[in-house]
Amino acid sequence: MHGKVYEENKHTELAALADAVMSYAENRVRVAPPLDQPMSEAELDARVGQTITAEGFGGVATMRLFADRLAPTCLSTDHPRYLSFIPCAPSDAAVMFDLVVGASSIYGGSWLEGAGAVYAENQALRWVADLAGMPPEAGGVFTPGGTIGNLSALVAARHTARRTAAVGVRPNRVAATAGAHSSIVSACDVMDAEFVGVPADEQWRLTGPNLRAVLEEHGPETFFAVVATCGTTNFGIIDDLASVAEVCREYGIWFHVDGAYGGAGLAAPSVRDLYTGIEHCDSFIVDPHKWLFAPFDCCALLYREPAEARAAHTQKAGYLDVLTEAPEWNPTDYSVGLTRRARGLPFWFSLAVNGTDAYEAAIEHTLDVARFAEEEVRRRPYLELVRGRDLSVVVFRRLGWSPADYTAWSDRMLAEEFAFVVPTTHEGETLARFAVVNPETSEADIIAILDTMA
């Protein structure tokens, strides 16, 4: 095909594709989605088959294939009865703007290429830094998730510790509790660093006195970071940040706070006191894709002194000199990775659209629903709370159930596309767990699920 005819066809094809994509996206946001359920590879072979062909299927047909055959086998993490792991329930504004980011071919790694995007992302980071009480110089970057955020912070911490250590001392240890997220141990593996567990106190928290004992036992100069968690993944426990911060300051050890899930609670006045001491952190992460209503994948990583992180992370090469020698803010200098999507923009857009008061209200609402779930568990004789709730995770046991009972119950709810609540384990015991971060999750949802356990 040639000339004008080709142009016209191209235009019609694009229009049809845009229509298919936009109406799918709009419907997905507007209409409450089904929970859906996974399928085996053999089932998908039968249902979908080979999709990569020499001729291609064309846009509209391939979009239909995705919508009809692939998407229904992917769980809706934003379903109000998806309470496993940590759900992801993005705001309408954030989801719609994610399409715009995808359409815009923005390189989010440097100011030179993405000035306006980086400027906006930095305002969203500033909001988070202010919630944590970090100083005006604080800054950072949006990474794909808490795992890369934690790794990047620890790389910066070790770089800094080794730069300032006495001759012959190469700090290589990280202290945290067993309740710290698996990504901390994983980061230590990647870095060939040693994870040293600190015994938790009777409330299962990391505390200054216990930390001090472990540091003294191993030699404080051998540690390059202490990781405290504000909102453990399994229970939502907030470590005693103030006493941990004090010990870190005393020994001059980098204080990293992992708030991937629970950091969002900083925006909720009803629980803000639990975070006292966070303002002393050297680095901090929170995942907007968890409890701050942004789509995957998005982690806000902040440093008290970004120059330290920059020294650790900047990649140097002749072809990058034009970027690395510039005085402007290049997000890529603050984490592992070079090329980056401006993944903070959907979060920024939603903050700008809705205003921060709406965030406060939405987080408080999820806390209210979690509080209601806790009360319902206490009220029902066949259930027992495992530990009082700090945030929006509720862990409880069904008296008399074996691990197989929990699994059968969970599998049945998923097969019926009624709810997705996988069991967890703690000290070898299988337990039920709700993580409430979706403002659409209602008290009625909680009652409906608990009724299935009677």
Give me the residue whose beta carbon is nearest to ligand PLP.
146
Number of residues counted as binding ligand PLP (CB under 6 A): 14
Total Cβ atoms within 10 A of residue 17: 15
Q: Does 287 help bind ligand PLP (rule: CB under 6 A)?
A: yes
Binding segment for ligand PLP (CB under 6 A), chosen from 118-126, 142-150, 308-316, 321-329, is 142-150
Burial status of residue 25 (CB atoms within 10 A of its CB: 0-12, 13-18, 19 or more): middle
Q: Given 3-state DSSP classes, what are the helix, strand and coil percentages for the chain, each rounded to the nearest 5?
A: 50, 15, 35
Q: How many helices (DSSP H) and strands (DSSP E) are in the chain?
A: 16, 11
Q: Does 233 help bind ligand PLP (rule: CB under 6 A)?
A: yes
Strand-pair category, 194-198 with 393-398: unpaired
Q: Does 424 help bind ligand PLP (rule: CB under 6 A)?
A: no
Q: Does 390 help bind ligand PLP (rule: CB under 6 A)?
A: no
CB of 8 to ligand PLP, least distance (A): 45
Q: Does 146 help bind ligand PLP (rule: CB under 6 A)?
A: yes
Strand-pair category, 424-426 with 429-435: antiparallel
Q: Does 329 help bind ligand PLP (rule: CB under 6 A)?
A: no
Q: Which of 95, 299, 370, 436 binds ligand PLP (CB under 6 A)?
A: 299
Q: Which of 234, 239, 258, 244 is nearest to 148 (CA)?
A: 258
Q: Which of 110, 183, 335, 438 binds ligand PLP (CB under 6 A)?
A: 183
Q: Which of 263, 279, 275, 289 is nearest to 392 (CA)?
A: 263
Q: Which of 261, 275, 348, 401 binds ligand PLP (CB under 6 A)?
A: 261
Q: Does 258 help bind ligand PLP (rule: CB under 6 A)?
A: yes
Residues 14-73 that bind ligand PLP (CB under 6 A): none
Q: Residue 314 and residue 337: Cα distance in Å, rounded?
A: 10
Residues 110-129 that bind ligand PLP (CB under 6 A): none
Decide: 165 and 171 in contact? Cβ < 8 Å: yes
Q: Does 291 help bind ligand PLP (rule: CB under 6 A)?
A: no
Q: Residue 288 and residue 66: Cα distance in Å, rounded?
A: 27
Q: Does 265 help bind ligand PLP (rule: CB under 6 A)?
A: no
For ligand PLP, the closer CB: 86 or 117: 86
For ligand PLP, the closer CB: 81 or 181: 181
Omega within 30 of 0 (cis) for the link into 297: yes
For ligand PLP, the closer CB: 77 or 183: 183
For ligand PLP, the closer CB: 154 or 449: 154
CB of 3 to ligand PLP, least distance (A): 49
The H or E element containing residue 96 is helix 92-103
For ligand PLP, the closer CB: 143 or 332: 143
Return the half-sphere exposure (C-beta side, CA atoms, 13 A cut-off) of residue 61. Answer: 7
Residues 193-232 that bind ligand PLP (CB under 6 A): 229
Instruction: Report residue 12 as tokens.
Output: 């019609």
Burial status of residue 446 (CB atoms within 10 A of its CB: 0-12, 13-18, 19 or more): buried
Binding segment for ligand PLP (CB under 6 A), chosen from 33-41, 140-148, 360-368, 411-419, is 140-148
Q: Which of 75, 86, 120, 301 binds ligand PLP (CB under 6 A)?
A: 86
Q: Does 84 help bind ligand PLP (rule: CB under 6 A)?
A: no
Residues 6+ apart with CB under 8 A from 74: 36, 38
Q: Which of 81, 173, 181, 433 binds ligand PLP (CB under 6 A)?
A: 181
> In residues, how long is the chain?
454
CB of 170 to ligand PLP, least distance (A): 26
| Contacts with ligand PLP, residue ranges (CB under 6 A) | 86, 145-147, 150, 181, 183, 229, 233, 258, 260-261, 287, 299
